[in-house]
Chain A
């Protein structure tokens, strides 16, 4: 069972690394939120895999569902913010946000 846990955690670490790399290097706001999504996929994989391996899959499922609801709410709000930023700056470049006045 430990091998199975290793396998899932190995791949979820890859997902989280990919997301963090994108967050650190990309400039497009939509890409940054795609990276957040990729990281959250890694985290939900950890939750469910650990639940399955440790024989508490029911609890893990309810946690994962809560996590997905939070994720959707976050993405909806973030995308609304991105649209507003685009309307104001006419750009999705994250560097344009550093030109704040005041």
Chain B
């Protein structure tokens, strides 16, 4: 229980750092560390495949994408944030923390859980047989993402003529 609380605290702490740090590259790296914590939590909850995806894809690929975007937009990209934003955040956070602690337990007892028996089979069987349609949807989403990126980075017609 102590290790779980430490891991979850690390996850929240680095997520907050990712939001509050002024340097965008440091913020992206903090997000990667938060993903690493989340991946370890997934492993400990008995979800190794989700943990591997979280660490390799979110902590790896998305961090690279963020770092690339920061590098491409670094010049003159300083944005003046409102002064109060960072000052007021701890106050709101503590208020939410108290409300969360008081309300969440009561909410959990009211959440209707769907009846489910113990699962049988392996992860592969669930993913490839029970959730086949999800995989088709994933392919569609990846294809849509690739086409969107290609469309956004295509050269203008005038550039070609020149």
**Contact assessment for B8 and A86 in the assembled complex, using a CB-CB cutoff below 8 Å:** no
A49–B65 alpha-carbon span in the complex (Å): 28
**Consensus secondary structure, chain B interface:** helix
**Contact assessment for A68 and B19 in the assembled complex, using a CB-CB cutoff below 8 Å:** no
**Chain B residue at minimum C-beta to C-beta distance from A40:** B58
**Contact assessment for B85 and A74 in the assembled complex, using a CB-CB cutoff below 8 Å:** no
**Contact assessment for A7 and B5 in the assembled complex, using a CB-CB cutoff below 8 Å:** yes
A72–B28 alpha-carbon span in the complex (Å): 15
**Contact assessment for B16 and A18 in the assembled complex, using a CB-CB cutoff below 8 Å:** yes
A21–B12 alpha-carbon span in the complex (Å): 14
Chain B residues with CB under 8 Å of A64's CB are 42, 47, 50, 53-54
Report which of B19, B82, B118 forms a contact with A34, defined as CB distance below 8 A.
B19
A35–B61 alpha-carbon span in the complex (Å): 17
Beyond A65-B50, A68-B54, A77-B152, whether A27 also contacts B79 by CB under 8 A is yes
Chain B residues with CB under 8 Å of A74's CB are 145
CB distance from A44 to the nearest CB of B (A): 7
Q: Which size bracket describes the interface of B in this complex? A: 35 or more
Chain A residues with CB under 8 Å of B4's CB are 4, 7
Report which of B9, B19, B73 forms a contact with A38, defined as CB distance below 8 A.
B19
A37–B102 alpha-carbon span in the complex (Å): 26
A18–B34 alpha-carbon span in the complex (Å): 13
**Contact assessment for A10 and B104 in the assembled complex, using a CB-CB cutoff below 8 Å:** yes
Report which of B77, B108, B122, B153 forms a contact with A80, defined as CB distance below 8 A.
B153
**Contact assessment for A30 and B19 in the assembled complex, using a CB-CB cutoff below 8 Å:** no
**Contact assessment for A58 and B123 in the assembled complex, using a CB-CB cutoff below 8 Å:** yes
Report which of B19, B70, B126 forms a contact with A22, defined as CB distance below 8 A.
B19
A54–B76 alpha-carbon span in the complex (Å): 50
Chain B residues with CB under 8 Å of A90's CB are 76
**Contact assessment for A92 and B73 in the assembled complex, using a CB-CB cutoff below 8 Å:** yes
Q: Which residues of A contact B (CB under 8 A)?
A: 2, 4-11, 13-15, 17-19, 21-22, 25-28, 30-31, 33-35, 37-38, 41, 44-45, 48-49, 51-52, 54-66, 68-77, 79-84, 86, 90-93
Q: Which 8 A-B pairs have the closest CB atoms?
A: A73-B145, A11-B8, A80-B152, A64-B50, A28-B79, A52-B45, A58-B126, A77-B148
Sample of 9 more A-B contacts, CB < 8 Å, known A11-B12, A38-B19, A72-B58: A15-B12, A54-B113, A76-B145, A77-B145, A82-B69, A83-B73, A90-B76, A91-B77, A91-B79
